């Protein structure tokens, strides 16, 4: 875009020759910072909200309004994106409500000992409404199947599984449109826990890649600047230098089968609780 004005440079303590480049929105930069730069590459980013993002070479595909369609940070490229409004926020809410003084590491201890499916406990992460695939501001979350045998660890794992089921609804939309989703790069808070990464692999039925850096958006912005400075001939070349795989999580066939059955049950929660949620709307603060 150019260089700094004299006034701005003086106020910020920078040189006037400092180059300025156009950046991108958080997810556009996150896509670059995760190496989502070609067809078939998919990103799962779990922060306060969660997104599943897929690279598109063309901007004219028809997803019937089920997912978002945006310009990519890479020139002449696009990405489609599904959103879970309360992804990491659902887990933070549960922790703040029932284990406020614990660290996240202590809070998550023991969830690996709970079997896939949390012994029949499901969670729908609609605690602030939802976007994909249900654009509904009035829907609210729920635990389904609470049993006297369930422990705190069951509830925590169920929350994580519910968030991941919700994100899988976006992946299902992509697959039904003909997209191949067999490898997913995971970044954000959801990439910090080993058990959650394996849950993603099992529910998505895809290989999950954890990068050495989880700072996708910040990394992507840095890569745009490096490319803009002419240090690399392409963003793809830049990605080869900047991005390294730390660990790969493969889906476990036995777990995949369990989650596929539970996912079909999970998808009924929205329609089965929608009327109740809307009736309770007037009683919320």
User: Which residues are the active-site residues?
Assistant: 26
**What whole-number distance in Å separates Cα of residue 63 and Cα of residue 52?**
14
Contacts 24+ apart (CB under 8 A), 53-61: 53/27, 53/79, 53/80, 53/81, 54/79, 54/80, 54/81, 54/174, 54/179, 54/181, 55/31, 55/79, 56/80, 61/177
DSSP 191-219: GS-HHHHHHHHHHHTSEEEEES---HHHH
Close Cβ partners of 59 (under 8 Å, ≥ 6 residues apart): 69, 71, 78
User: Residue 129's CB: how many other CB atoms inside 10 A?
Assistant: 16
Whether the CB-CB separation of 133 and 169 falls below 8 Å is answered with yes
Question: 133 preceded by cis ω (within 30°)?
Answer: yes
């Amino acid at each position: 875009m150019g260089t700094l004005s004299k006034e701005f440079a003086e106020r910020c303590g920078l040189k006037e020759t400092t180059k300025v480049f156009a950046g991108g929105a958080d997810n556009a930069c996150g896509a670059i910072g995760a190496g989502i730069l070609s067809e078939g590459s998919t990103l799962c980013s779990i922060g306060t909200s969660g997104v599943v993002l897929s690279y598109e070479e063309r901007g004219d595909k028809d997803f019937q309004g089920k997912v978002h369609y945006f310009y990519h940070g890479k020139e002449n490229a696009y990405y489609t994106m599904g959103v879970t409004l309360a992804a990491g926020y659902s887990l933070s809410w549960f922790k703040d409500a029932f284990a406020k003084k614990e660290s996240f590491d202590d809070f998550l201890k023991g969830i690996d000992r709970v079997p896939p499916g949390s012994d029949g406990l499901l969670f729908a992460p609609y605690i602030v409404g939802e976007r994909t695939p249900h654009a509904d501001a009035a829907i609210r979350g729920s635990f389904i199947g609470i049993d006297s045998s369930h422990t705190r660890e069951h509830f925590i794992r169920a929350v994580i599984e519910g968030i991941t089921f919700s994100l899988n609804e976006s992946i299902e939309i992509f697959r039904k449109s003909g997209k191949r989703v067999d490898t997913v790069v995971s970044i954000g808070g959801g990439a910090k826990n080993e058990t959650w990464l394996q849950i993603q692999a099992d529910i998505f039925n895809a290989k999950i890649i954890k990068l050495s850096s989880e700072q996708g958006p910040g990394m992507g912005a840095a890569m745009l600047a490096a490319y803009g400075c002419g240090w690399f001939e392409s963003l793809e070349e830049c990605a080869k230098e900047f991005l390294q795989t730390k660990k790969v999580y493969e889906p476990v066939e036995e777990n995949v089968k369990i989650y596929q059955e539970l996912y079909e049950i999970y998808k009924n929660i929205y329609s089965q609780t929608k009327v109740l949620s809307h009736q309770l709307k007037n009683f919320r603060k």
